[in-house]
Amino acid sequence: MAVAVAATLGLVSPGARSQPRQAPAQQPPPQQPSEISTIISGEASAAPRFAVPDFIASSTDAETVALAKTIGQVLWDDLNFERDFALIPRDIYSTIPAAKSFDDVPFDRWRELNADGVIVGTVQKTGTGVRVDVRLFNVRSRQSAFGKEYSGSAANPRLYAHTISDEIHQQQRALRGVARTKLTFASDRDGERMRGTVESRGVKEIYIADYDGENQRRVTTSRSLNITPTWSPDARSIAYTSYQKGAPNIYISNIYQGTRDDLTKDIAQSFLPSWSPDGTRLCFMSTRDGNAELYVVNRDGSNPRRLTNHPGADVSPTWSPSGTQIAFTSDRTGTPQIYLIGADGLGLQKVTSEAYADRPTWSPAPYNEIAFTARTGPGNDIKVIDLATRQLRQLTFGEGTNESPSWSPNGRHLAFMSTRSGKSQVFTMARDGRNLKQVTQGGNNSQPDWSK
């Protein structure tokens, strides 16, 4: 998998490469200002305004030029996704002379555009791949606020941009970016037919994609119904429900090893796996005792333990970030509603009072919220309930049906399925419902899950 090719990171102290050796001698006082002002701030509490021009290709061959262009563009998109920086639109950059190196950045021109920071990078072809060198300059002080050098394969240039974006978010805003996270979802896009069935039904397979919908890949090839994929916390395995042996059972695909584990070993029908936050256990729904109840097992399928016991159906579990509680859907009071239960099976409480509520998903810290699917009319919409205040907010408003929300690992975004553009497709949006973005295109794509 190309995603396995991680860039090797070489640390370079900010600005060290661009300054001549004798610089300290010429400036007797220590350069303390440049050390202190590595955080770039905007004017009067506004978000810092950044410009990300195309990276500088060190040679003129088409491949290096294309790499440099791609990295700059993807980095712009990645930084813009979190909305923590105000990004100057790219189309205005053509009016500014492109820098040839770190030493001739036209700071006056960027200042004229009100930029607070400008990110300049160089791309150089090496014997084994590429070397990407990046600086974030403070446009006012002309000092480097962030500098790093990466080298590795040229197969996936987007990964360099994603890495730079996450590190700049971390260093400048102490924010965990999502640029290197991934989505998994079920799709029928390949139009295959199920083997061995009389009516030759359509199949669904599990796919993965980058958070922005790029690099989509298929994970399963069982030509059966494979649904409800969910990432393990280390993002190296995907647990999902599959009908490949007839009855639905839960399997775990270790995507980097190419192996598959059978979690429920064909005992009755099992659905909807959910990983504990430490990745050592899974919770799922099973009918092994005759009724739909929740069970917790270890990662290797050992030590199964029944969590719920009620004649109603208990389905769709999701763990709290601390691992001490599990939210799930139950129809024990008539219509499906969201409930909480301790991981030890104690402390049951009802959370929602909707007409119909299903598919809860617990947000990561610092938010303590549960997003779920609620029936609001002919279709469904995504709603979020704050567990501390029990305040409810609605994020989608009747455009098609909107289901299966999943939080990004920093809690600032949600992936979900919507039929607003025709077929079911995976969308992402900010936690306030804005910045909607369609991630998938072909076929029907549903049940997204965002890697942790």
Partner 1 sequence: MPKVQLAADAAPGRGGRPRRVASSLAEINVVPLVDVMLVLLIIFMITAPMIQRGIDVNLPVARRAAQISGERVFVSVPLAYRQNHIVYLGDEPIRVEILRERIRQQMERRSDKQVYLRGDGGVQLQELMDITDRLKDAGVETVGIVAKMPGER
Which CB, 82 or 314, lies closer to partner 1? 82
Which CB, 43 or 344, lies closer to partner 1? 43
Q: Distance between terminal CA atoms of the chain? A: 19
Which CB, 108 or 199, lies closer to partner 1? 108
Give residues with Cβ within 8 angstroms of 97, minimum separation 6: 106, 109
Which CB, 92 or 355, lies closer to partner 1? 92
Which CB, 1 or 92, lies closer to partner 1? 92
In which order are the strands placed within the sheet that holds 349-350? 314-319, 325-330, 337-342, 349-350
Min dist. Cβ of residue 92 to partner 1 (A)? 5
Min dist. Cβ of residue 114 to partner 1 (A)? 6
Q: Taking CB under 8 A as the criterion, which residues in 98-117 touch partner 1?
A: 112-114
Give exposure, 355-382, as e/b (b: 16+ Cβ within 10 Å). Answer: eebbbbbbbbeebbbbbbbbbbeebbbb
Beta bridge partners of 208: 184, 217
266 is a contact residue toward partner 1 (CB under 8 A): no
Task: Please tell me the distance from the alpha carbon of residue 17 to that of residue 11, in angstroms, as a whole number.
Answer: 12
Q: Select from 22, 60, 95, 257 the one that contacts partner 1 (CB under 8 A).
A: 95
Residue holding tokens 């939210």? Answer: 327
35 is a contact residue toward partner 1 (CB under 8 A): no
**Contact letters (x/-) for partner 1, 178-217, by CB under 8 A?**
----------------------------------------
426 is a contact residue toward partner 1 (CB under 8 A): no
129 to each of 101, 149, 214, 424, how far by Cα in Å?
20, 13, 21, 39
289 is a contact residue toward partner 1 (CB under 8 A): no
89 is a contact residue toward partner 1 (CB under 8 A): yes
Interface with partner 1 by CB under 8 A: which range of 82-90, 212-220, 291-299, 385-393?
82-90
DSSP strand pairing (56-57 vs 8-11): unpaired
Task: Please tell me the distance from the alpha carbon of residue 310 to that of residue 293, in angstroms, as a whole number.
Answer: 8
126 to each of 65, 130, 169, how far by Cα in Å?
14, 5, 28
* Tokens representing residue 369 in the block: 């919220």
Min dist. Cβ of residue 49 to partner 1 (A)? 7
Which CB, 95 or 389, lies closer to partner 1? 95
* Tokens representing residue 232 in the block: 């393990």
Which CB, 66 or 86, lies closer to partner 1? 86
Beta bridge partners of 349: 340
311 is a contact residue toward partner 1 (CB under 8 A): no
169 is a contact residue toward partner 1 (CB under 8 A): no
Min dist. Cβ of residue 393 to partner 1 (A)? 24
Min dist. Cβ of residue 88 to partner 1 (A)? 6
* Tokens representing residue 159 in the block: 């990964």
CB neighbours (10 Å) of residue 436?
15
* Tokens representing residue 441 in the block: 């295109």
Q: Select from 1, 6, 39, 92 the one that contacts partner 1 (CB under 8 A).
A: 92
Q: Select from 7, 14, 48, 49 the one that contacts partner 1 (CB under 8 A).
A: 49
* Tokens representing residue 230 in the block: 């969910």
Residue holding tokens 């974030």? Answer: 136
Min dist. Cβ of residue 181 to partner 1 (A)? 28
56 is a contact residue toward partner 1 (CB under 8 A): no
Min dist. Cβ of residue 119 to partner 1 (A)? 17
Binding residues vs partner 1 (CB under 8 A): 46, 49, 86, 88-89, 92, 95, 112-114
